Structure 1
């Protein structure tokens, strides 16, 4: 977004697409190997329209986890780069609003729509979408620009390898997680969209489709 802009009708929220996740063993089972590519396509489209891109990073200070800023992984994943003037906000809650000034920034710009992308589909992304809807924003959830990982059953023993987790029939697969998220959001909290739908060329002035 150009620093001179004082309004933005829409905001692309890129949630937690950070190096922290790549330090976890379950990164090998990520649902969306095209995540960075699709996020970059959305970012490029937003910038081309002069609309806002907001980068959210998750932080867990003092925990010693991969989200502890002392570990040095709280930065955008390789291949993503915030532009000058694009807000980079750090959150400590699941949704992107509660522990940041995101709502204040969007209000100042007159933003009406938010586009949701990031990690993880059913956690921080879905929670942000629900929260944004309750705040009155029009929410578009770009599922193929989100990613998640298999979820163990609540009674599963701790400390298992990724192979053991994947072999457990009680483990919720990434396909099931994604489907459940879309079912829960669609028609209630958000419109479901794809990266292709949001980045394809619109009609030209003569009514024909652009390249």
Structure 2
């Protein structure tokens, strides 16, 4: 078989490329660049750097958390200081106990001396910081039984118009007192619950999961797991 016969398919494939290169060089046609997306977005970087917490931060599944004989000590990633070393990790006959006590006493004495010197200087100069001015609410005991009855009547007649805030402004009392003295009728509470349920139906999966996580964290906080 002739060598030219074997090279014929290859020459046929390379012919259009040679034609394209010659035409582009003659007419100065630029080929479009192919855009590639890199790892540059904030969300992707945060997901890649997200690490699970250490096991000591997680609640114990086998027993009540925290246990009576359990201590969690997670110091920060910084230089260790002997003043912050708990005595629980040192034996009773360890000489470092006396050194730590000596360091703590020295630091306390220096801190108290500096604070007393600053107080003496301020007292000597007669310059004190200005008094904080913020709105203080003085308690009022101006409500009688007739006022409370009127508050309950207004709340029962039209709970939408006479809300808790409006009643508190009218009778010059706190919203907590209005909620205790004149609670909303049961029909209004059912209407509010139905309104909230209709609002929840429009939530997406992300918002629903966020509300469930918030409720779960609150329950864990009440149980002492956070």
TM-score tier by shorter-chain length is under 0.3
Which protein has greater RCO, CA pairs closer than 8 Å, 6+ apart?
A: 1
| Largest Rg, 1 or 2 | 2
Normalising by structure 2, report the TM-score: 0.15
Normalising by structure 1, report the TM-score: 0.16
More helix by share: 2
